[in-house]
Amino acid sequence: MAAWETLNSCGCKGIRYCLVCEPLGVAGALKVPETKKSFEYSPSKGIALGVDGCWFPFPGVYLIQDFVTQDEERNMIQIMDQDKWRLSQSGRRKQDFGPKVNFKKQKLKVGSFTGLPNFSQVLWQRMKLHAVLEGFLPVEQCNLDYSSDRGSSIDPHFDDSWLWGERLVSLNLLSDTVLTMTREDADSLQLMSAVGEETELHHANDVNTTQCNAADCKLYGIIPFSDVEVTIYLPQRSLVVLYSDARYKWKHAIHRENIRQRRVCITFREMSPEFSLGGKEEELGQMLLKLALSFQGKSV
Ligand SMILES: O=C(O)CCC(=O)C(=O)O
Ligand SMILES: [Fe+2]
């Protein structure tokens, strides 16, 4: 392959780069290192915890470990790899099962959407057993493929909320990773002081941390949200649901340094109220849902 072909074989546009298109030295020059106070999300307590034991509530994350078995994971990856992966931004590749959307113009067409893929039906049935996903009707599925060779990442962003509803559901396959949450608004957060001595977190298995007793919790200080980041450790084969504050107030990102091996993420999205029952685009919403839930889809 000629050098220019190699240089052009990525899906980056504008300000986004991956290891294929990134001119030497740009990575360092582009990113002014930011020093934020880092907190780790504790799934068992629903709080963000600092190394010094300070913490604050972090609502809107629901994590299910071992959502699929190793065999199911292998089968799904095999099915996905039989299909074409399209180049996307920041070194990612993707397969999309959903309507054709122009988010900027808020325009939506069925396009060549034929529904979600067959293997997702069993995932959907399993999801609905969790109260947080009651009534979840997936209308779009996006498979993303991250690799360390391509320096894949996803910049901090909010998912659209004109078309997509509150709950974002992602299945994390092939390797563990970290979802990084940040806020850029001007609000401040009330930081609580440490309780007890055992404050060290052990990722998702943080069973041996102390339980917070509200009576012991003291206000430690107030800091701007923009000075903090919260890391959510996502084990391989776990399913994570983002909703409420974690969906609407915090941006989410996957940093390049947190992709150590190939990682595939399957994200399911539901309709916003506008496209749901009683909404002004209800009819279109119902039509898309019928297609989606036929589970006969091919990627668009
Ligand atoms: O890879 C992930 O876990 C996040 C993907 C994501 O944020 C998106 O597709 O909007
Ligand atoms: Fe997202």
In whole angstroms, what is the distance from residue 90 CA to residue 173 CA? 19
What confidence tier does 11 reach under pLDDT thresholds 50, 70, 90? Answer: confident
The ipTM value here is: 0.99
Measured from the alpha carbon of residue 179, the closest ligand is: 1
Write down the pTM of the prediction. 0.89
Gap from CA of 157 to ligand 2 centroid (Å)? 6
* 10 in contact with ligand 1, CB cutoff 6 A: no
pLDDT at 118: 97
CA atoms within 13 A on the CB side of 27: 13
In whole angstroms, what is the distance from residue 146 CA to residue 150 CA? 8
* 199 in contact with ligand 1, CB cutoff 6 A: no
Q: What is the mean pLDDT of residues 264-278?
A: 97
What is the number of the ligand 1 atom nearest to the C-alpha of 240?
A: 3
In whole angstroms, what is the distance from residue 288 CA to residue 284 CA? 6
Domain 60-180+235-292 is classified in which CATH homologous superfamily?
Alpha-ketoglutarate-dependent dioxygenase AlkB-like (2.60.120.590)
Cβ atoms of 47 and 58 closer than 8 Å? yes
Q: What is each CA distance from 208 to 24, 201, 224, in whole angstroms?
A: 45, 8, 30
CA atoms within 13 A on the CB side of 197: 0
Report the largest interatomic distance among the alpha carbons of the chain, rounded to a whole angstrom: 67
What confidence tier does 3 reach under pLDDT thresholds 50, 70, 90? Answer: very low
pLDDT at 22: 76
Measured from the alpha carbon of residue 144, the closest ligand is: 1
Pocket test for ligand 1, best of 147, 254, 255, 270 (most atoms within 8 A of CB): 254
In whole angstroms, what is the distance from residue 112 CA to residue 103 CA? 17
Give the N- to C-terminal CA distance of the chain in Å, as an integer.
28
Q: Quote the percentage of the chain above a pLDDT of 90.
A: 76
In whole angstroms, what is the distance from residue 180 CA to residue 38 CA? 10
Question: In which residue are the tokens 């496209």 written?
Answer: 275
pLDDT at 17: 83
Angle of CA points 153, 154, 159, to nearest 5° = 160
Q: What is the mean pLDDT of residues 238-251?
A: 98
Domain positions in the chain = 60-180+235-292
* 170 in contact with ligand 1, CB cutoff 6 A: yes
Q: Is the pLDDT of residue 255 over 80?
A: yes
* 265 in contact with ligand 1, CB cutoff 6 A: yes
Cβ atoms of 225 and 189 closer than 8 Å? yes
* 263 in contact with ligand 1, CB cutoff 6 A: no
Q: Is the pLDDT of residue 53 over 50?
A: yes
What is the number of the ligand 1 atom nearest to the C-alpha of 159?
A: 10
Encode pLDDT of 202-228 as tens digits.
444 443 334 445 555 688 899 999 999
Q: Amino acid letter at 137?
A: L
What confidence tier does 20 reach under pLDDT thresholds 50, 70, 90? Answer: confident
**Which runs of consecutive H residues, i.e. helices, occur in the chain?**
3-8, 26-30, 70-82, 120-127, 244-248, 282-292
Q: Which of 200, 191, 195, 226 is nearest to 211 (CA)?
A: 195
